[in-house]
Chains A and B, each alone.
Chain A
């Protein structure tokens, strides 16, 4: 299998992860872009479904992949209070291990979502799994529990009756855990070794389902870019100190994406913020009200910015100016964020239809479709020539036959 090694791969390798691993929400850099090539395009269920495995509970968290292991969370039981973490063999989908814990926080949520909504994260040695109940478990990759936290036990009003969904972000040994809601709203930096609070930052008292973005500056410094209805706060992951604040508001559902030192924010459509190399400031570059993401997060690939709106319209804009270049109607609606690999965009709608868009076509072109037949709300994982996607009942591996 060939791989185009992009620069970001080196960052992943530095963390002890291999090229091709998918270690967290929207991949190695949290931007939904994969360096995989030769993924299936003209999708065909008979040819491209390598395996399909039943899951023991519901979920919309994304699968993770480390080497030949696939990790996925689920919530089972009548009250969704059985928190499941599974490790599957990427080759055949067989269960390598499965762990179950009791929910310690609230398992009340909207019927459409589930308690296994946040995507876990791994550094290639440890797996960190957060649930909507604000219960957090750290296991090694062989399934041995290392530590746990019950954040709603610690902070009883930290909950959301619609459900929580912000995914974990791991940077510089700090596990950034967003527990942002209408009441006891905070984001915490936890030591990855033992889960202890390194810092705890009060956040806007408003429900928020977005996931943070990490900026790594040329000097090696890191900033965690927290998105909320109040805009973007750039936070030092070591201290929790706020370096700067973009205060013009932002969406609380789709997340921002960082590419080439520019943060593309779902704010008044899309607002592009040029970030200073030292991580201490920003400058607004452009704003476009003609690109309007809805639930799905933004994507940036090869100087183009992509947004999916509630009607299923894929908008493509010039990443340098924000000018909209074309639109393509897909079969929506979309609850999960799409991913890009080899200049093709992979999107799964809520009815379970996979759609592949050839981004090299002048105005985009639907190059493949495949029905999975179940509601899909997750963002897929892309790893080692395959796409992994899950529903409330199952997880699929989609790949070319030669790569099964």
Chain B
């Protein structure tokens, strides 16, 4: 009877845990569910450290709000335990980390918790993280390889260093690491093709210029948005406009409208390319652009943004899409505004196709020029 009673108490606690997690996972946009979430979080945060793996697992598939609420519980439980001189369940956290079926964020959080209490245990895990789906985790392994390669260079063993650098570059997904490794390889007189590493799309067809007087071109629907067939001719700012081939040899895949059209202001340009996918698959279009832009995949608008000259970065915009098996048409619209300052000359974008980790997906139809850029 006593055993049954304890068992039912344990079941009740589990049910309460599950209900609280469900409340957090139900939080929606515009603060929907926040009040209930606050109460549920209060309950979860009272749990012991043995609930940490379950809290991490509850982040699998959770929306960003829920993941952060659950992180709030993890932070309190782990923080309080460590402040009181307690321990964290290292083995369970390690097993969670090593199970790649879990989402990347809670796995990276598990690694952080392990490192917080046992640096050596964390370091022992790092070699296995090369190629991890979590960019944060693989970063650790890339950094380790990079350090080892640097040591080999200092020891005069350049061939071994090159091979380690190659492994590091293959695994690297963060720009700073990629550039550091590429720089080290070039110091050793090895060629590196960053264009291919990132998967920037370099072969395009361009049409323009169309107007963007008073920034109205962003909303205007010009010919390429109605019919983007390469044989079609449109009415542009300076008369008839045709699609013209354009290829960039910029290492970071910069597609520059100023090159074919001159340094124009208050104009709109279009660029399109075909991307051949071997399968139906999820992917990301990653765009960098400091002009107002719109992007379509197979005729469907993916996203649009009317911001001008506020900065540009590789992977500035990460746009999840679904590629179709076979040919996919990517159409980009880029608008240049009226500003005349030196820093507003650019009328350009860079685009790559990759998976959620940032690993390049290459078009099966790519001519593959393999231009090694030194």
Contacts and interface: CB of A to CB of B under 8 A. Distances in A.
A181 B305 CA distance: 11
A153 B64 contact: yes
A128 to B, nearest CB: 13
Interface stretch (A24-32, A156-164, A256-264): A156-164
Nearest to B105: A102
Contacts of B76: 143-145
Contacts of A110: 311
B28 to A, nearest CB: 9
A100 B71 contact: yes
A190 B31 contact: yes
Contacts of A10: none
Contact of B67 (A102, A137, A160): A102
A183 B75 contact: no
Interface in A92-130: 97-102, 104, 108-110
A196 B305 contact: no
A41 B227 CA distance: 71
B30 A154 contact: yes
Nearest to B28: A154
Interface string A193-211: 1111100000001010000
Given A145-B41, A182-B310, A100 B31 contact: no
Contact of A194 (B35, B69, B303): B35
Interface string B23-46: 000000111101101100110010
Contacts of B105: 102
A207 B310 contact: yes
A150 interface: yes
A111 to B, nearest CB: 9
Contact of B72 (A99, A161, A162, A196): A99
A286 interface: no
Interface in A39-55: none
Given A160-B307, A182-B310, A183-B307, A101 B68 contact: yes
Tell me the dominant secondary structure on chain B's binding face.
helix
A183 B34 CA distance: 27
Interface string B98-139: 000000010000000000000000000000000000001001
Contact of A153 (B29, B45, B176, B313): B29
Contact of B64 (A102, A108, A194, A207): A102
Contact of A147 (B31, B303, B308, B312): B31
Interface residues of B, number: 37
Interface residues of A, number: 40
A100 B75 CA distance: 7
B35 A104 contact: no
Contact of B79 (A104, A143, A150): A143
B290 interface: yes
A144 B42 contact: yes
Contact of B312 (A104, A150, A161): A161
B174 interface: yes
Contact of A148 (B68, B136, B310): B68
Contacts of A97: 79
A104 to B, nearest CB: 4
A78 B305 contact: no
A77 interface: yes
A149 interface: yes
A154 B29 contact: yes
B246 interface: no
Contact of B68 (A104, A156, A161): A104
B316 interface: yes
Interface in B164-195: 174, 176
Nearest to B42: A144
A146 interface: yes
Interface centre among B34, B67, B139, B290 (most CB of A within 10 A): B34
Contacts of A195: 31, 34
B320 to A, nearest CB: 12
Interface string A349-365: 00000000000000000
Contact of B305 (A150, A183, A194): A183
Interface in B69-84: 69, 71-72, 75-76, 79
A264 B311 CA distance: 31
B65 interface: yes
Nearest to B72: A145
Contacts of B38: 145-147, 194
Contacts of A197: 30-31
B263 interface: no
Nearest to B45: A144
Given A101-B71, A182-B306, A196-B30, A161 B290 contact: yes
Interface centre among A100, A156, A197 (most CB of B within 10 A): A100
Nearest to A96: B83
Interface string B286-330: 000010000000000001011110111100100000000000000
A193 B174 CA distance: 39
A102 B68 contact: yes
A226 to B, nearest CB: 21
A154 to B, nearest CB: 5
B64 A150 contact: yes
Contacts of A182: 306-308, 310
A161 B176 contact: no
B25 to A, nearest CB: 14
Contact of B136 (A77, A147, A181): A77
29 contacts: A77-B136, A78-B174, A97-B79, A99-B75, A100-B75, A101-B68, A101-B71, A102-B64, A102-B68, A108-B313, A108-B316, A137-B68, A150-B65, A150-B68, A154-B30, A157-B305, A160-B310, A161-B307, A161-B316, A182-B306, A182-B310, A183-B305, A193-B35, A194-B34, A194-B35, A194-B38, A196-B30, A196-B34, A207-B310
Interface of B: 29-32, 34-35, 37-38, 41-42, 45, 64-65, 67-69, 71-72, 75-76, 79, 105, 136, 139, 174, 176, 290, 303, 305-308, 310-313, 316
Given A145-B72, A182-B307, 12 more contacts: A97-B79, A100-B71, A102-B64, A102-B105, A104-B68, A144-B76, A148-B69, A150-B29, A161-B307, A161-B313, A161-B316, A196-B31
